[in-house]
Amino acid sequence: MRGFLAYSTGVACTAALVLPLSFSSGAHAASSQVPDVPGSTQSLPLEAIGPRATDGPLGRSAEQGLTERDVRPFSLVGVVWDDVDAELHGTVQVRTRALGSARWSGWQDVETHNDEHRADRGTEESDSGKVRGSTAPLWVGESDGVEVRVKGGRAERAPLPKGLRLELVDPGAAPEPTEGHEPGVANRTAADTPEGEPEEWDVPPALSEEEPDVLPALSEEEPDEFPGLSEEEPDVLPGLSEEEPDVLPALSEEETKAQAADPEMAEKPYIGPRPSIITRKGWGADESLREKEFAYTTTVKAAFVHHTATGNSYTCAQAPSVLRSIYRYHVVSSGWRDIGYNFAIDKCGNIYEGRAGGVDKAVLGAHTLGFNTDSMGIAVLGTYSLSTPPAAAVTAIAKLTAWKLGLFGADPSGKVVLTSGGSGKYAKGVKVSFNVISGHRDGYITDCPGGRLYSKLGTVRSAAATYQGRG
């Protein structure tokens, strides 16, 4: 077996600020031991391959890769490089071997245009010196063999970026579900169940008394305020406690307003009912990886919809593993402070908490380069350029935006003006008019969220406005 680098180092906190903070190097530390925390990342430097492998320095080779080899188990792949501002002009393809078998996949394309998914330029997160260039990650399922090839594009005649490495991510074992709760099926109904998958229950039943996975509806004798989000809480919240529920239950409109963290939010005239949300604890986030402090923006004026471009081969039961893999890829491989998206949605319509800091707060994400301020990013797990997104996922976007945008007084069917922080489409300082619910491509030259999902956003806007009671 070829040697490889493995790391599972966390991030360090240096000050209690509510702005993006610098974080630890995340350097590629050599180790031959299995990490103590769930999940791991193998980082393998690419080599010059092909007929011109010996021509010139490695950084200018027309083709780099790794030949077929055995590796430790992994489920998600991606390629990273040293300079975050360098673009990979060309193609990246991988083939993998299913775990414990001799069965190899065919060559699969990895999305190379991923620069637009990151923190805004000029922010402390972006300028930390730790952020690396990266492809989109690709979910391949449990595997223990890999081959990769990266070819430079002929038209651009640009050299491949320096420091190319193949990242192989093992999401680790799923968290043990508490009684009555199976991660990844909180919102599923019989109508939303994809063909060929078993039906699941819609909302998890009542759970153990020691630690509920779903908080029950409030009675008249119970406090109106949602514990842990009181007015007395500091702007920088402590790390998530062990008592964090796995799932925040769906609430009625009245319950939603009663549990609003800010009394002014509860007075907003149009707030959609809060949908069920699987928390970071519920999908098994390793909180030792991320930056310990949280970063906030002023408000939430807009929602940008994305697809993760990780492929559609996952099952809904695997969605938490996909999310743990993306989280680890964003933080450990790409050098971000946390997962970039504020929320994620799987093909069955389950909604997941993304970047830490509070689901009802204006958490600053890293999802739409140039427009992360005063917005939130919602990523649907999968690739929807040629595949039609399931109705359950589209409905979940509408329910989530009706609630979260409503908390900040935004009309899902309206327009909003945002100031560009600098993107490939709009120069820094340019004021841009967006739909309140927009696709990533509206703010950057990209295919994201894929043509098929983008075409559903009109339906999302109308449905979200109706959920807010505007229709």
Cα 102 to Cα 75, 145, 148, 234, 459, distances in angstroms: 16, 9, 17, 54, 45
pLDDT, position 259: 81
Average pLDDT over every residue of 399-420: 97
Query: Rounded to whole angstroms, how far apart are CA atoms 469 and 270?
Result: 6
- H/E stretch holding 170 reads strand 165-170
pLDDT, position 258: 84
Average pLDDT over every residue of 86-92: 92
Going by C-beta distance under 8 Å and a sequence separation of 6 or more, which residues neighbour residue 227? none
pLDDT, position 117: 62
pLDDT, position 127: 64
With tokens 């620069």, the residue in question is 115
pLDDT more than 70, % of the chain: 71
Instruction: Give the pair of three-digit tokens for residue 257.
Output: 């307003």
115 — pLDDT class (breaks 50, 70, 90): low
Structure letter (DSSP) for residue 60 = G
- Length of the chain as a residue count: 471
With tokens 């680098």, the residue in question is 5
Q: CA dihedral in degrees (356, 357, 359, 360; nearest 10)?
A: -160
Average pLDDT over every residue of 309-321: 95
pLDDT, position 357: 97
pLDDT, position 269: 84
pLDDT, position 257: 83
Q: Is the pTM of this model over 0.85?
A: no
Average pLDDT over every residue of 341-366: 97
Per-position DSSP letters for 356-417, written without gaps between them: SS-TTS-B--SSSTT--TTEEEEEESS--SSSPPPHHHHHHHHHHHHHHHHHTT--TTSEEE
Q: Which of 87-101, 247-261, 448-462 has the lowest mean pLDDT?
A: 247-261
Structure letter (DSSP) for residue 231 = T
Q: Which amino acid is at 43?
A: S
Cis ω before 238 (30° cut-off from 0)? no
Stronger pLDDT, 180 or 392, i.e. the higher one: 392
Q: Which of 79, 75, 72 is nearest to 42 (CA)?
A: 72
Stronger pLDDT, 373 or 15, i.e. the higher one: 373
Q: Which of 79-88, 127-136, 153-162, 381-390 has the lowest mean pLDDT?
A: 153-162
CA atoms within 13 A on the CB side of 154: 0
pLDDT more than 90, % of the chain: 61
pLDDT, position 51: 66
Going by C-beta distance under 8 Å and a sequence separation of 6 or more, which residues neighbour residue 27? 7, 9
Stronger pLDDT, 201 or 41, i.e. the higher one: 41
pLDDT, position 154: 66
**Other CB atoms within 10 Å distance of the CB of residue 37:** 14
Q: Where are the beta strands (DSSP E) in 195-258?
A: 247-248
In angstroms, the first-to-last Cα distance of the chain is 62
326 forms bridges with which residues in the sheet? none
Average pLDDT over every residue of 153-182: 78
Average pLDDT over every residue of 265-273: 83
204 — pLDDT class (breaks 50, 70, 90): very low
Mean pLDDT computed over every residue of the chain: 79
Per-residue pLDDT at 23 exceeds 70: no
